[in-house]
Amino acid sequence: MVRWISGTAMLCAGFGLSGGAMAESTDDHNRREKAGVQERGDIVVTGERPSYVEGESTTATRTATPLRDVPQSIQVIPRSVIEDQNSIRLTDVLQNVSGVQPATTAGNRGEIYQIRGFTTPRYAIDGVLLNRVADRSETFLDLANVETVEVLKGPASVMYGQGDPGGVINITTRRPTDRPTAEISLQAGSFDFARVSATASGPVGDRLAVRVTGAAQTLEGFRGKHAATSTRQFAGFAARWRPGDATTINLDIDHSSQRNPFDRGLVVGADNRVTLPARRFLSEPWSVTGARKTRVVLDVAHRATDWLSLHLNGRYTDAVVQDNYAIDYRALAANGRTLSRRATNRSEDLETVDTRAEAVATFATGGVGHVVLAGGSYSHATLDFLTYRGNIASIDILNPVYNAPLPRLSLNADTYRRSDLYAAYVQDQVTVTDWLKLLGSVRHDIVRDRLLNQVNGREDRRDSSATTWRGGVVVQPVPAISLFGGYGQSFQPQTSQRRDLSYLDPERGRQYEAGVKLDPMGGRLIVTFAAFDITKRNVATPDPADTSFAIQTGEQRVRGLEMDVIGHLTKRWQVIASGSHLDATISRDELFTVGNRLTNVPRWSGRLWSSYLLGGVAEGLTLAGGVTLVGRRAGDLSNSFSVDGYTVYDATISYAVPRTGLELSLTARNLTDAYYIESTVTRLENYPGTPRSILGAVRARF
């Protein structure tokens, strides 16, 4: 696995500021070889199997900092786990991290997650958040180009600007390699799933290396024969050029497109529960949603002196989302079976330009070491939003009949939104002694939003600003133990409007956190325990009178405990274990009852995954299995209904054919065919989990 793994001092003297955009240096590669670390393709192999452990990350600090030195909980899931578990969704990967739950797919259009009980509508790719004017990711993430999935728990506004207090998900992409590598993967399984992905990487001359990646998949799905077929395509190109020993330039270009059935899931029935079969589709065969997204990134890192390095990053994103007759559920009649519906033709044209300039200085004052990061950023985002709406025939949820007549639609909204974000920030990582390390960060954001109603010509303006800060301490009495504590703040400008078209006030959040990180086996096993208290104010929720608009419910609070374990128990035995307890409630409100549970947040949840590589005559054979447990969850802030907890068992058997680079695997998910609701949003939007499924894969590396 190609990653920049030098220490912090080497980082700040050179190229390690790119949040995942830098490749491994030749010196680092040579050191790995001398240490006895093998490479298989671009996956690091420690001993006999690719390791689950990543020792450092740039997600929390924008510098390649060992995880044990970060005074905040952070979990890193590497590509080796993605491949071992045969993951095909980002949700499959994130189930390995404590306190993370799928929140919604917004009608099967893109992923939205909850971290520590708070909904996070967007994630970051290589340290840059997705489009800030969208309320979800523009397309589902394709895993073909993913190197690691990293989750920073708690407020991250100091590093990422606007954000939610639960945390941020950062996706790091696969980088060009110094050695020629290639791989192809074929997957097929239940519900007519078929997928092919391939990547090739290597040097082109002495100073240039490139990677090309592609993937395509199709899925009939488990939601019934009346739902349209899902398709997705992805293509990516990455180049790394080193014009001199002190400069590295990275160029990334990728494009993704998808077409899916628009699907709001299941509804609460007459018994005040969600009991409809998982395969019960309540939309129409002609209700589909499509999207395409293109991303271009230029990243330049320059080592100016032995103590100063400079970094410039720019990203352009263009995305179009098109919903053709997207069907929303309106209300369930008193008879408990007649569901009224509405169809929408919606188009969203999004453009974003993100720029960031940073400098990192490494120096000492009176024997105290400093790594100072200073930077500024500017983001410009636009959203051209057009919708037509009309009611369509109701459907009987107990005995559905499909192919309702296409309705005549009327103009509902035609708006153009522009958002500009200016920010400046500074951070100091202080090494007082070998056992005492401090972190302090401060950032100021200015947000200017303009919303033009292109029907009546009205323009609404919203300007907001905030100063947020973060502080933390790490105490390491011995190298294997890191005690940490910290405080952080978040700031989130509201994208939602009240029915009078005024903007909601910005959300503000704060977190207190303390915990311990253990490294009892010299980097082979990482254990994290954390306790935290998060409060978020000015929270936006759908307006019960018209869910197209929002209201503010006051204050919400989550107090919790988390545990994450990842790594080797023995040379051949690896585990991932996680668990969380979340006390997530409304702490102040004028509409909802104080003390009510937050929507979709389980009090208890956990995951255990274990893989074992056999030896002897069974050399190359790996047996693996896992169990996921999620507790009961409130279905809305009124706590008018709840969805049951669930337990899901998975298993994988794989065989790496010796000396061939060929690997065969078979994965079974939800072995007991459990019925469960993966995420609940409202009484009219509940997403069922996938029934029992089988997935076979063939992977070849060259």
Q: Where are the domains of the chain?
A: 8-701
Q: What pLDDT score was predicted for residue 48?
A: 58
Residues 6+ positions from 109 with CB-CB distance below 8 Å: 136, 260, 262, 289, 291, 321, 323
Q: Would strands 230-244 and 247-261 be described as parallel, antiparallel, or unpaired?
A: antiparallel
Give the closest residue to 113 by CA, choosing from 124, 495, 670: 124
Superfamily of domain 8-701: TonB-dependent receptor, beta-barrel domain (2.40.170.20)
Q: What pLDDT score was predicted for residue 117?
A: 96
pLDDT in tens, 399-456: 999 999 988 999 999 999 999 999 999 999 999 999 999 999 999 999 998 989 999 9
d(CA 116, CA 317): 29
pLDDT in tens, 632-674: 999 999 999 999 999 999 999 999 999 899 999 999 999 999 9
Q: What pLDDT score was predicted for residue 2?
A: 31
Give the closest residue to 342 by CA, choosing from 266, 394, 270: 394
Residues 6+ positions from 182 with CB-CB distance below 8 Å: 41, 198, 199, 200, 201, 701, 702
d(CA 418, CA 174): 32
Q: How many CA atoms lie within 13 A of 512 on its CB side?
A: 3
234 sits in the region (left: phi over 0; alpha: psi -120 to 50; else beta) called: beta
Q: What pLDDT score was predicted for residue 54?
A: 87
> Would you say the pTM of this structure is higher than 0.85?
yes
Strands (E), 180-287: 181-189, 193-203, 208-219, 230-244, 247-261
Q: What pLDDT score was predicted for residue 136?
A: 79
CB 90, CB 96: distance < 8 Å: no
Structure tokens at 584: 């997530």
The parts of the chain modelled with pLDDT lower than 70 are 1-48, 495
Distances 141 to 149, 163, 210 between C-alpha atoms, Å: 11, 20, 22
Q: What pLDDT score was predicted for residue 38?
A: 38
Q: What pLDDT score was predicted for residue 503?
A: 73
Distances 481 to 325, 524, 528, 697 between C-alpha atoms, Å: 56, 14, 10, 39
d(CA 99, CA 116): 5
Q: Would strands 74-78 and 128-129 be described as parallel, antiparallel, or unpaired?
A: unpaired
Residues 6+ positions from 199 with CB-CB distance below 8 Å: 144, 145, 174, 182, 183, 211, 212, 213, 214
Q: What are phi and psi for residue 250, nearest 5 degrees? A: -115, 135
**Strand, helix or coil for residue 465:** strand
Q: What pLDDT score was predicted for residue 497?
A: 74
